[in-house]
Structure 1
Amino acid sequence: MERVDESASEPVPVPADRLQEEVRRVMEQARELQEFGSSLLWKVSNEEQSLRQNAISFESSIRRLRSMITSLVAQKLLDRSLANKYEEDLQRAICIIAEGDAAAFLPAKYQGRFLRKFLGPINVRASRKEVQLKVKEEYNSYRDRTALLFLLFPLTLLVLRSWVWDGCLPAFPVQLYQAWLLFLYTGLAMRENILRANGSDIRPWWVHHHYCAIAMALISITWEIEGQPNCAQKQKGVELFLQWAMMQGVVMLLQNRYQRQRLYTRIALGKANRMDVVWGEASGVDGQLWILCPIFFLMQGFEAYVGLQFLKSAFAGIVFKWQVICCGILLVVMAIGNFINTIQSLMTKSRIKAKMKGTKSKKESD
């Protein structure tokens, strides 16, 4: 066997004066790095402050010009078509800033109480565009994952109810599902508030809708679901709620697939911001709307029906609990809000299409 030279693995001794010199050099390097970093941050801070002042001046100029255009049109001193052209140019200037890195230096949007309750008084606005887009991509990925679970979780409960639990749901699995809904809607609300702070055009109703859903999930966790006797009658509302949840999961999957394709097209045409996300019901093309809108209205009607069934079972004395009454009211409120928001989206889309047709016909006549 070969003998290992033990002396080769021993460290070579370093003279004391050389060691002292190396330590001194490292200390000097640390001081230089500190001074360079402080100087760089001071310069960057001054340049950022100057850029923020320019961004504030830019917003002020946009507001002043729009007010001037409105005033001149009202006084009939400016032609409407010319005013529309100026408005389009101003909107194009805003898009140039919003789509670039300079957007981070615009005045920060109000982040709302929800984020401050969870995160405290910190600024969640990203300074770089790629970071903002990464936040949006993570939000889309989160919605894709939860949409599938939104469909499978209640389906599993209903299957087990029929095959294993003899038509009577135990309280714990349903409460576990409500705890998951609480986690889901809280995560969606936080992500949407962060996206809005970073420039996403999310309708305020959808954020408020998730606040209502958070409250309903929190209330449902404390609801001890009753079983036998008359289990089918007592749990009729819970069964309808699970069926509605499955329906909503299917709608979320359709929405994520079809409307996101349309959003990418709108971004490519310059009609949408890269930070915009899919939530508006009327963002699809005409062929998709013929499919999606009836599904939306059917889901909203079924949601209201489930809420009314909750209220009916409570006031009829079948399951008289405050949780049932609160959940029924919240479901009806969310259904009405969703219906109103869908109608507003369709009306907005029709006005935009009419305006585009009018502009196109005018150009052809010219």
Structure 2
Amino acid sequence: MEEQAAASPDELYSEITKNYQQFRESVDQFNKSTTKCKDAISRYEELMENYTAPDEETEKNISAQKTEIEGMTYYLPKQNNLLLTLFVGDFNVVLPRKEDKIKYKLQYEKFKLFYIIGQLVFSSLNILCGPNRIVEGLLQFYLVWFYCNLTMKESILIANGSRIRTWWQVQHYLDIILYGFLLIRADGDFSLQFSLYIFYMSGCQVLQFYYQAGSLYKLRALGRATHMEVSAEGLRVKTYTDLQFLTPFFILLYIFQSYNGYMLWQLAPKARDDERWEVYVCCLLFITISLGNLFTLIHVVVLKHQIHKIVKSPELIRRNFSNSLLSSLGKEIKKQ
């Protein structure tokens, strides 16, 4: 077999310039198509603001159109939220291909699990060391870094179509502030309790991770979850049954958070004058996080219990629940 003759530099240069020109034309066409699509969606939304459907059939069609258009927007560039704007600027973070979105979501889930295990390691070291201020400082710095990264990744996921409940985003912002204040404090009275809290919280988060992975696995199998709601490798679990198993662990965690706030309130009068306000802020943050988590947990349990009753009782669906209510409950439960 004869070897293929080597191309000359001029031939390779000609091929490069030709391919680059095609690339530039494709980019220009992509930008023009994006602008046209966004303009058309804006006109549609303006029309729908004052539009009244003449009959029920038209209203159903419009509802289906809105759902489909909402899915389209997850592939179009959009304005970043405040956190992303501060850290990356007005840079487009919407991934153009579905495969890229799924890959990023899987990377996020693996990132979350890996660094939650890191929390377990650092908190264990601090408990075993006595506690030690250096190890405690490393743990708190690690927590600030982790939740900053986690919040940015979640913001990117939301821009790409993931559903993440607003409270979890707010809680992560509060966590960043809380651990930042604890990092700059030098009070050893709260050190051991804080490490025990992080150790227990990390264990609960690992359980929650596998619970969510299994729940999303089941929802996808039933066709009730989008690709952006996938999780890392999960287990086949029964959603409501697992929630019943997890609820006591998280109720205890939220009580622990409230107890942290109470202990900081007791320690505040002993703090230095220039640090006392920081202790009170940390106390308030722990209480806020605890109450927010408890309210969200109750909301989730009620929703899942309603869906569990519907699934177990077809007669209940026929007599007391419309398909639209079942659908709305299904959408709500997928946010958890």
What's the counterpart of residue 125 of structure 1? Answer: 94
Query: TM-score by structure 1 length?
Result: 0.71
Which of 130, 135, 145 lines up with 1:183 in the alignment?
145
Q: Distance in 1 between matches of 2:252 and 2:198?
A: 13
Q: Give the alignment's Cα RMSD to 1 decimal.
A: 3.6
Residue 148 of structure 1 deviates from its aligned partner by: 1.8
Within-5 A mapping of 1:104-123 = 104=75, 106=76, 108-123=77-92
Within-5 A mapping of 1:152-301 = 152-161=121-130, 169-226=131-188, 235=189, 237-276=190-229, 285-301=239-255
Q: Distance in 2 between matches of 1:144 and 1:94?
A: 33
Say if 1:112 and 1:54 are closer, same or farther in 2 by CA, change over 3 A: closer
Q: 1:268-320, CA deviations, whole angstroms, 9 ceiling, x for partnerless residues?
A: 32322221267xxxx971111111122222211210111121012113x3676
Unpaired stretches in structure 1, ≥5 consecutive residues: 1-21, 162-168, 227-234
What's the counterpart of residue 111 of structure 2? Answer: 142
What's the counterpart of residue 93 of structure 1? Answer: 68
Q: Distance in 2 between matches of 1:39 and 1:265?
A: 44
Matched-pair contact (CA < 8 Å) for 1:150–1:246: yes
Residue 347 of structure 1 deviates from its aligned partner by: 4.1
Q: Distance in 2 between matches of 1:44 and 1:318?
A: 60
Q: Distance in 1 between matches of 2:247 and 2:33?
A: 48
Q: Distance in 1 between matches of 2:50 and 2:116?
A: 44
Residue 38 (str. 1) matches residue 18 (str. 2): no
Say if 1:93 and 1:327 are closer, same or farther in 2 by CA, change over 3 A: same
Q: Distance in 2 between matches of 1:122 and 1:47?
A: 17
For the pair shown, the structure with the greater C-alpha radius of gyration is 1
Residue 145 of structure 1 deviates from its aligned partner by: 1.0
Matched-pair contact (CA < 8 Å) for 2:105–2:228: yes
Q: 1:110-151, CA deviations, whole angstroms, 9 ceiling, x for partnerless residues?
A: 321212222222111111222211111111111111222222
What's the counterpart of residue 287 of structure 2? Answer: 332
Question: Matched residue of 1:126: which SS?
Answer: coil
Residue 308 (str. 1) matches residue 262 (str. 2): yes
Matched-pair contact (CA < 8 Å) for 2:257–2:286: yes
Matched-pair contact (CA < 8 Å) for 2:94–2:156: yes
Matched-pair contact (CA < 8 Å) for 2:122–2:139: yes
Matched-pair contact (CA < 8 Å) for 2:119–2:139: no
Unpaired stretches in structure 2, ≥5 consecutive residues: 1-5, 232-236, 322-336
Residue 361 (str. 1) matches residue 318 (str. 2): yes
Say if 1:319 and 1:241 are closer, same or farther in 2 by CA, change over 3 A: farther
Which one-letter code corresponds to 1:343 in the other structure? Answer: I
Residue 266 of structure 1 deviates from its aligned partner by: 1.1
Say if 1:177 and 1:59 are closer, same or farther in 2 by CA, change over 3 A: same
Residue 64 of structure 1 deviates from its aligned partner by: 5.7
The count of corresponding residues between Structure 1 and Structure 2 is: 308
Q: Distance in 1 between matches of 2:245 and 2:59?
A: 34
Within-5 A mapping of 1:62-101 = 71=52, 78=55, 86=61, 89-90=64-65, 93=68, 97=71
Matched-pair contact (CA < 8 Å) for 2:144–2:180: yes
What's the counterpart of residue 9 of structure 1? Answer: none
Matched-pair contact (CA < 8 Å) for 2:101–2:228: yes
Q: Distance in 2 between matches of 1:117 and 1:130?
A: 28
What's the counterpart of residue 49 of structure 1? Answer: 32
Matched-pair contact (CA < 8 Å) for 1:259–1:284: no
Residue 30 of structure 1 deviates from its aligned partner by: 1.7
Which one-letter code corresponds to 1:179 in the other structure? Answer: F
Say if 1:269 and 1:89 are closer, same or farther in 2 by CA, change over 3 A: farther
Q: Distance in 2 between matches of 1:242 and 1:294?
A: 21
Identity of counterpart residues, as a percentage? 23
Residue 151 (str. 1) matches residue 113 (str. 2): no
Which one-letter code corresponds to 1:361 in the other structure? Answer: R
Say if 1:203 and 1:87 are closer, same or farther in 2 by CA, change over 3 A: farther
